[in-house]
Amino acid sequence: MALSKLEKLRRVLERQISKGQINYAVPDLWNAWNYQGPEVRKLPTSELLVNPYRFYFAVIDDYLLPNKKQRTNYSKSLSQIQHIRPKKSEVGGEWVKRSVLYSTLIRTSSAWDHDRSFSLDIENFNGLKETGTFVKMLALLPLLKKMGVDTLYLLPISRFSLRDKKGELGSPYGIANFFELDPNLKEPMTGKQMTIDEEFQALVEACHILDMRVVIDIIPRTNAVENDLIKDHPDWFYWIKASESSKYRVPYVDGLSNTLSPLPQYMEQVYDSKDVQRHIAMFQTNPKDKDPALYETVLKQEGHLLDNIEKAFDLKIAPAFSDHINDVQPPWTDVTFFRMFLDHPKMNRKYLKNKQTPPYILFDTIKANLFPGDVPNQDLWETLVNIIPHYQSTYGIDGARIDMGHALPKKLLQMIINKAREVDPDFAFIAEELNPDNAEKAKESGYNIIIGNGFWMEPRIWEKKLHKFVYGASEIALPMFACAETHDTARIAGRDGGRNLARMTTTLNMLLPNLVPFINSGQEVYETQPMNTGIDCTSADKFKLPQDDLFYGKLALFDKYAIHYLNHNRWELADHLDGIKKIRQLWLDQILDKSSYLPLYFNEFDTPAIGVSYVNKKTGKCLLVVANSNVYNDIHCHASIEKLREAANNYSNTGRMLYATYEFGRDYHDFSPDGRVYFHLGAGEVKVIEF
């Protein structure tokens, strides 16, 4: 049998071990698998000096491959590998409900200043890469495994545009080519001996060997202003005059309030607006249709296509902007929208004075699910539908999040989901849907889970939003992420409450009903600097780090950035999660079964205490999970468990404390005859009791 990509990588690294007598440091967190190469030196910083070739070779050889089953082809999805097919009654991809997700931007999560030059170099003193790569990510898998993570959720890994890039590296959300991987994620250690495709294949294979799934992030609604599709398909985009582009701005509709959803009832007023008319008038026919012969000539010219088009046609791709009316955000200069329909929105074309108006970006055209045209852009749809199958067949991924999927034409979304499940019936879909009220709709579309609003609710402990989130979750039609932060939001450890808040939410999230644990890379080491300040951030959040920190003011989504893996408390949350994951595994069926769940209520008025409970109907065992959302002070509280006792027919007065943030496990006797349990909870403490 031919070598798998992981085996090939192992061999390529092994052959070069003699080259590795270099000064290469990794954080000790990258060695949760206890690498003990003869060259290892432990530095006072908590870094290890290693031979990088041997180090990454060893994680494959010592940690990964021993778990590989013979005669198994790991390049398919885990469900395909394990021959798991959804039940007839079920939609595919329901495994995601049982999973623990780790969200990672590879270039950041596996970034390190390996030569300690106080600079994150693309090519360091030893010619090696310090931003992240697929290969380096392998060394983090043991840590993730320890934390109970079983799904790697990858922020975009496709090649993105570097034109007018934001920050030092540019945003991976400005896709230039869906079908090529971001070349920055290529590992120079393997040089020409492996392609970047093979390296990603090796990573997916490694995850599958560890029973971890891999989910990617796809962005079918926008594209970088500079992207590879323009050349052959200029008609898939919106164009304006280059000479007028400095005047391009989001039209403002007088008489409507700010940041309004683009509902049909506003459209007459929108089109009536002078500023909207000014805006629409800016749009132009695409260069190919304008002058096919000239376009052919331009294509043959040397230099940059967009520059050449601009010179020949005075045309430029129009930037995207928010689909909310009168949103205060400026245009998103680096991305643009796809033309989903070849005609104007059916519902609103009556408002257009000139029916020959070239395609234009407006709140309706870009909200194609609400305002479809009659003529779908079939070729484009075809392309978009094929993105996920490409990642399925080439790399064997297990699921995808669709960026702004709810703004796609309904039919297109359906095609995307169906096509992926044709390839792999157990393929999972995550909806970028923040509003729990839309869960039902997402479910109908075939999604398995929505992102939800945990990132916003969980940190707001004093307003009791965490209470509302936890107690309300079981009512939602789809599970949401039990998450305290995302790559777009402020960091939980950077908020008021700091590490206590981060520890409480991160551990509690592992045992909540109808909620799926979601850990944002860096969260496990109490990172305080957000990766992006897109959502729920203040302007101060960008400057969470000390001024002399290498990454002061930097955002991972745009800049070279490495997680602060040397943090003194770096192992703490991983250890907590390591403990709590075992409880989760034992109680997972109950956690997922709404009928096994009962909320825990407390006798104290307006208490910071939060509690959930589960009953195992077969054994009659009960699980109590309680948390103190006051992260500054301890509390005493009493939970009523009468209903739970009834449901379980369990009247035991002795339990076992399986987990407590600030205590070791012990027997638990604080049950009172009147059906209450007493808890003393430290600041932000979580306790788990089984009886």
Q: Which residues bind to its own copies, rule: CB under 8 A? A: 21-23, 41-44, 49, 115-119, 125-126, 548, 550
Burial state string for 217-234 with b = 16 or more CB within 10 A and e = fewer than 16: bbbbbbbbbbbbbbeebb
Cα(first)–Cα(last) distance of the chain, in Å? 51
Q: 189 vs 623, which CB is nearer to its own copies?
A: 189
**Residue 276 phi, psi dihedral angles, 5° rounding:** -70, -40
Closest CB 28 distance from its own copies, rounded Å: 13
Q: 126 vs 414, which CB is nearer to its own copies?
A: 126
Angle at 682 between CA 677 and CA 683, to 5 degrees: 130
| Cβ partners under 8 Å of residue 605, min gap 6 | none
Closest CB 191 distance from its own copies, rounded Å: 20
Q: 47 vs 524, which CB is nearer to its own copies?
A: 47
**Residue 511 near residue 625 (C-beta atoms within 8 A):** yes
Q: How many C-beta atoms lie closer than 10 Å to residue 260's C-beta?
A: 15
Closest CB 557 distance from its own copies, rounded Å: 24
The bridge status of strand 335-337 relative to strand 686-690 is unpaired
SS3 assignment, position 501: helix
> What is the widest separation between alpha-carbon atoms in the chain?
89
Closest CB 113 distance from its own copies, rounded Å: 10
| Burial of residue 18 (number of CB atoms within 10 Å: 0-12, 13-18, 19+) | exposed
Q: 21 vs 297, which CB is nearer to its own copies?
A: 21
Closest CB 523 distance from its own copies, rounded Å: 24
Q: 25 vs 637, which CB is nearer to its own copies?
A: 25
Q: How many residues does the chain have?
A: 691
Q: 115 vs 379, which CB is nearer to its own copies?
A: 115
Closest CB 570 distance from its own copies, rounded Å: 17
Q: 49 vs 681, which CB is nearer to its own copies?
A: 49
Q: 518 vs 551, which CB is nearer to its own copies?
A: 551
CA 176 – CA 195 distance, rounded (Å): 19
**Residue 36 phi, psi dihedral angles, 5° rounding:** -135, 45
Q: Is the dihedral of CA 129, 135, 140, 142 positive or negative?
A: negative
**Residue 517 near residue 102 (C-beta atoms within 8 A):** no
CA 227 – CA 334 distance, rounded (Å): 11
**Running DSSP on this structure, what letter comes out for residue 301?**
S
Closest CB 116 distance from its own copies, rounded Å: 6
CA 392 – CA 390 distance, rounded (Å): 5
Closest CB 130 distance from its own copies, rounded Å: 12
CA atoms within 13 A of residue 571's CA, in its CB half-sphere: 9
Alpha helices (H) in 458-571, listed in sequence order = 465-472, 498-508
Q: 52 vs 251, which CB is nearer to its own copies?
A: 52
Q: 113 vs 572, which CB is nearer to its own copies?
A: 113
Closest CB 45 distance from its own copies, rounded Å: 9
Closest CB 121 distance from its own copies, rounded Å: 11
Q: 115 vs 589, which CB is nearer to its own copies?
A: 115
User: CA distances (Å), 356 to each of 271, 343, 353, in order?
Assistant: 16, 10, 9
Closest CB 119 distance from its own copies, rounded Å: 6
Closest CB 52 distance from its own copies, rounded Å: 12
Q: 552 vs 662, which CB is nearer to its own copies?
A: 552
**Residue 492 near residue 510 (C-beta atoms within 8 A):** no
Closest to 322 in 3D by CA, of 272, 277, 262, 271: 262
Closest CB 29 distance from its own copies, rounded Å: 18
**Residue 500 near residue 634 (C-beta atoms within 8 A):** no
Q: How many C-beta atoms lie closer than 10 Å to residue 93's C-beta?
A: 29
**Bridge partner list, 181:** 158
CA 77 – CA 393 distance, rounded (Å): 9
The bridge status of strand 335-337 relative to strand 175-181 is unpaired
Closest to 364 in 3D by CA, of 407, 317, 413, 410: 407
Q: 41 vs 618, which CB is nearer to its own copies?
A: 41
Q: 126 vs 640, which CB is nearer to its own copies?
A: 126
Closest CB 550 distance from its own copies, rounded Å: 8
What string of DSSP letters covers 83-132?
A: T----TTS-TTGGGGG--EEEE-HHHHT---TT-SSS--SS-TTS---S-
Closest CB 47 distance from its own copies, rounded Å: 9
Closest CB 25 distance from its own copies, rounded Å: 8
User: CA distances (Å), 550 to each of 170, 300, 528, 553, 607, in order?
Assistant: 18, 44, 14, 9, 42
Q: Which helix (H) or strand (E) holds 280?
A: helix 274-281
